[in-house]
Amino acid sequence: MRGRWAAAGLVVAALVPVAGCGDQPSRAGSGVPGAEDPAERCAVAVPGPAALVCEIDGGEAVLRDAAATPERITDAGSRVQAAYRTLGEHPEWDAVVLAGVEPGLRTHTEHAALASRELASMHGAPRPTLPAWRIVEPPPAERLRAHYDEAQRRFGVPWQVLAAVNLVETRMGRIVGLSSAGAQGPMQFMPRTWAAYGLGGQVWETRDAVLGAANYLAANGASVAGLGGDVGASEKLDRALHRYNNDVRYVRAIRHYAAMMAAEPRAFVGLHAWPVDYRTTEGVIPLTPGYASRRQIPVAEYLATRPR
């Protein structure tokens, strides 16, 4: 299914919808109490590993709190994503941060940092321009989860894998636009592949796109057993993801995010809250709902009217 926009500047680490389902080569103990106000609590921390521990512990506590308001979830998602991205850029901090976060978050944090590194490696150098995209609000988490669950029941592909693909490709539907190779929709299908696996649906409709992706992955050997201890099924899942995007770094990133959700289903809520952050030569620029451009915009031109 290749042909997406993997080499752009989005941060998931840097998430730019990555390849596109098709048949072309790929492109490129912390001492932090509770979760009441992680932003205020961490604002006084000196930048470095201790600050990341504060952000991760506090933010993840909010994201895993079923009573958290949508506003708090949005804020925590943005802050946690930034913390994981920063850790991804500083592997020399791994030991200190992993020892410092709450024990139940250590494996989760390691997966997030490793996925960030894989995607940053794919995306290459920061970009001097912003993309020709439109940024919208994503479908609600509950609706997306229902689509993933339906696809798992129908095709036997783990819902966590479908959620991870949706995250990496379009930040769960926030990014609307074609890849440089022509891939389209929230799961980034090449037209020929969609014609074969799209089940007659609409590529820009989220439910149709999720079912099409599950159909494609299942046809290439993916199954629920791929996230368990079955070595053969795991290898088949890797091969199916490699067909989705012909880059082992993409496969490893998807597996890291899927593992986070397999270990803690509530992690999906946190990943759903991650916004679109675009890595540029002038630093990371948030692209919020309402951003829209039909052309690539030089970063300096954009910032001239929108100072940070």
Q: Are the beta carbons of 114 and 252 closer than 8 angstroms?
A: yes
Q: Which CATH architecture has domain 132-262?
A: Orthogonal Bundle (1.10)
Q: What is the mean pLDDT of residues 29-37?
A: 42
The span from the CA of 239 to the CA of 254, in Å, is 12
3-state secondary structure (DSSP) of residue 224:
helix
Number of alpha carbons in the 13 Å side-chain half-sphere of residue 15: 30
* Cα→Cα distances 56→59, 66, 79, 98, 115, Å: 5, 17, 8, 10, 16
Helix (H, G, I), strand (E, B) or coil at 239: helix
pLDDT attached to residue 180: 67
Q: Does residue 244 surpass a pLDDT of 70? A: yes
- Contact call for residues 227 and 258 (beta carbons, < 8 A): yes
Work out the number of other CB atoms within 10 angstroms of the CB of residue 143.
12
pLDDT band at 35 (very low <50, low <70, confident <90, very high): very low
Three-state SS at 38: helix
3-state SS class at 83: helix
Helices first, then strands: H and E counts in the chain: 13, 7
pLDDT of 235 strictly over 80: yes
Compute the distance between CA of residue 89 and CA of residue 84 in angstroms, rounded to an integer: 9
User: Is residue 262's pLDDT more than 60?
Assistant: yes
> Among residues 103, 101, 104, which one has the least CA distance to residue 80?
101
Q: Read out DSSP for 269-298? A: HHHHT--EEEEETTEEEEE-TT-B-SS-EE
Read off the pLDDT of residues 64-73 as tens digits, 9 standing for 90 and up.
999 999 999 9
Tell me what percent of the residues of the chain surpass a pLDDT of 70: 85
Contact residues for 126 (Cβ-Cβ < 8 A; gap 6+):
9, 279, 280, 281
Find the Cα–Cα–Cα–Cα dihedral 256, 159, 233, 248, rounded to 10°.
-40
Q: Cα–Cα distance between 176 and 173 in angstroms, integer?
A: 7
Contact 118, 252 (CB under 8 A): yes
Tell me which amino acid residue 219 is. Answer: A
- The pLDDT-based confidence of 8 (bands split at 50, 70, 90) is very low
Average confidence (pLDDT) over 101-119: 98
In this predicted structure, the answer to whether residue 176 has a pLDDT above a threshold of 60 is yes
CA-wise closest residue to 268 among 138, 123, 92: 138
In 3D, which of 161, 123, 135 has the Cα closest to residue 258?
161
Does residue 13 register a pLDDT over 90? Answer: no
Question: Is residue 250 very low, low, confident or very high in pLDDT (cuts 50, 70, 90)?
Answer: very high
Residue 161 contacts residue 227 (beta carbons within 8 Å): yes
pTM: 0.89
Distance of CA 281 to the CA centre of its chain: 21
State the number of CA atoms in the 13 A half-sphere of 194 facing the CB.
Answer: 21
